[in-house]
């Protein structure tokens, strides 16, 4: 098939235009079932049967009415008329999860078998794949993916249970892998490559003390990032200033254009200085700070419900009310993930860090699984674990970047016509609301 696309001149020039000039084929029945696409010269549209609706079953009605009642409690408008559903909805839901050969594959491989017991999947070369833009087609006939356990992955590899391990991080694990290759008489080999990403201590930057810039800066001053990176990577990695990796072109261009990055040289004195400039100069009673945990005054008229109710994990440090104002403790509640060397290092490098104590911080933690941590980060029961009351403001996880496009112009928009679709902020501050209303 041949087709052409014309880009509206209104959107040209655009720095990443060639990156978006790509199209991927898909099998229409996968998404449309027996519906069709019409093109009569007045634009492309779907046949009417795609939009067919039927009334809900009694059980579905009861569930939908319950959901509508909950919306009404929140002040949302209730739907009028009979409750219906799209006939195609079930088909789309089922086909989107389909992994067998019911529908033709467009990629280099097809899924031949999936074993839910050991979480393995067998891929075979797709004979219909015509190649990438260079015409290159795969030469390996069959590939098996299997779930591995990081603690035993190398033993599994040496025993022949797996042929390739990728993305090994951490100094001890990397040393062990290199030793295995170097002592294998040429049976095993390895290659070092730069990772487009990093592990990090992240913040819920609209909640608790970390909502304030000076607190995040003070944490950076207190931690010895270079030593932390060396301890974790064993010297195979280092500190990254800016997104997302050492040789990221956007960082280099930004620096060449005059952007100045603060490397945050480790200094408790520098941490104390930014905290004092930020107003963390009180004790819990609103008196001048002398020792222990610092507090910051928040005017009563500006204090949010979360500010007023903020407290340390053990409840020993709470926001206090003095007169009409509230005083927030410099207590950080940190959620770390289990079976994670990064978490272990943060206990000494962050929570028990002498600089943190000297600067007036107290850090308390919770070690748990990843999905509950994400719920706490999102402050929403996305995975069914969030109880409804926020607690944690610090989290350790990782980030990565494997896209050819680095464009945040839409991600930070406050244009009401684009905000819901593009913004990654998730909340508007007062300035945004003011500008939008204007």
**pLDDT score at 19:** 80
| Cis ω for the linkage preceding 99 (within 30 of 0) | no
Q: What single string gives the DSSP state of each residue in 311-357?
A: B-TTSSSB-EEETTEEEEE-EEEEEEESS-HHHHHHIIIIIT-HHHH
Identify which of 186, 165, 185 has the alpha carbon closest to the alpha carbon of residue 176. 165
Task: Give pLDDT tens digits for 283-308.
Answer: 999 999 999 999 999 999 999 999 99
Q: What's the average model confidence in pLDDT over 176-203?
A: 90
**pLDDT score at 413:** 73
Q: Is the pLDDT of residue 343 over 90?
A: yes
pLDDT band at 243 (very low <50, low <70, confident <90, very high): confident
**pLDDT score at 435:** 52
**pLDDT score at 355:** 98
Q: Are 349 and 223 in contact (CB under 8 A)?
A: yes
Q: Is the pLDDT of residue 430 over 60?
A: no
Residue bearing the bigger pLDDT, 223 or 79: 223
Task: Give pLDDT tens digits for 34-84.
Answer: 999 998 887 889 999 999 999 888 888 888 888 777 777 766 676 676 778
**pLDDT score at 41:** 82
Task: Give pLDDT tens digits for 351-381.
Answer: 999 999 999 999 999 999 999 999 999 999 9
- The SS3 of residue 114 is strand
DSSP, res 295 = E
Highest mean pLDDT (candidates 137-141, 396-400, 414-418): 137-141
**pLDDT score at 437:** 52
Surface-to-core class of residue 269, CB atoms within 10 Å of its CB (0-12 exposed, 13-18 middle, 19+ buried): exposed
Residue bearing the bigger pLDDT, 8 or 24: 8
Going by their DSSP bridges, the two strands 331-337 and 394-400 should be labelled as parallel
Handedness of CA 126, 128, 132, 136 (dihedral sign): positive
Q: What's the average model confidence in pLDDT over 224-235?
A: 92
Domain ranges of the chain: 53-86, 103-147, 151-193, 203-330+346-360
């Amino acid at each position: 098939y041949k087709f052409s696309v014309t880009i509206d001149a209104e959107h040209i020039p655009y720095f990443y235009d060639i990156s978006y000039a790509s199209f991927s084929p898909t099998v229409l029945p996968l998404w449309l079932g027996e519906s069709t696409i019409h093109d009569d010269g007045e634009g492309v549209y779907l046949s009417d049967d795609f939009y067919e609706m039927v009334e809900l079953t009694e059980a579905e009605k009861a569930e939908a009415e319950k959901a509508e009642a909950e919306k009404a409690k929140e002040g949302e408008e209730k739907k009028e008329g009979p409750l219906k559903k799209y006939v195609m909805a079930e088909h789309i839901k089922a086909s989107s999860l389909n992994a067998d050969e019911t529908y033709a594959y467009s990629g280099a491989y097809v899924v031949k078998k999936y074993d839910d017991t050991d979480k393995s999947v067998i891929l075979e070369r797709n004979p219909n794949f015509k190649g990438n833009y260079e015409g290159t087609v795969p030469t390996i006939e069959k590939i098996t993916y299997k779930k591995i356990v990081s603690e035993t992955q190398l033993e599994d590899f040496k025993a022949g249970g797996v042929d390739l391990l990728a993305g090994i991080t951490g100094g001890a694990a990397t040393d062990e892998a290199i030793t295995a290759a170097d002592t294998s008489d040429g049976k095993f080999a390895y290659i070092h490559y730069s990772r487009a990403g990093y592990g990090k201590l992240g913040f819920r930057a609209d909640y608790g003390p970390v909502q304030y810039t000076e607190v995040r800066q003070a944490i950076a001053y207190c931690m010895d990032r270079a030593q932390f990176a060396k301890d974790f990577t064993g010297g195979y990695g280092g500190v990254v200033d800016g997104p997302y990796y050492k040789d990221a072109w956007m960082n280099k261009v930004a620096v060449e254009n005059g952007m100045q990055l603060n490397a945050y040289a480790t200094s408790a004195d520098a941490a104390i200085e930014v905290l004092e400039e930020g107003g963390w100069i009180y004790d819990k009673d609103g008196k001048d700070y002398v020792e222990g945990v610092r507090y910051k005054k928040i005017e009563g008229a500006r204090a949010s419900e979360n500010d007023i109710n903020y407290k340390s994990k053990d409840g020993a440090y709470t926001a206090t009310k003095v007169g009409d104002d509230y005083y927030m403790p410099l207590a950080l509640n940190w959620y770390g993930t289990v079976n994670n060397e990064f978490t272990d290092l943060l206990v000494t490098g962050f929570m028990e860090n002498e600089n943190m104590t000297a600067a007036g911080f107290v850090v308390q933690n919770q070690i748990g699984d990843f999905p509950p941590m994400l719920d706490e980060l999102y402050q929403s029961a996305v995975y069914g674990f969030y109880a409804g009351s926020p607690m944690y403001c610090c989290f350790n996880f990782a980030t990565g970047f494997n896209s050819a496009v680095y464009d945040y112009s839409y991600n930070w928009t406050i244009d009401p016509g684009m905000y819901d679709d593009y913004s990654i902020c998730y909340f508007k501050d007062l300035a945004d609301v003011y500008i939008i209303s204007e």
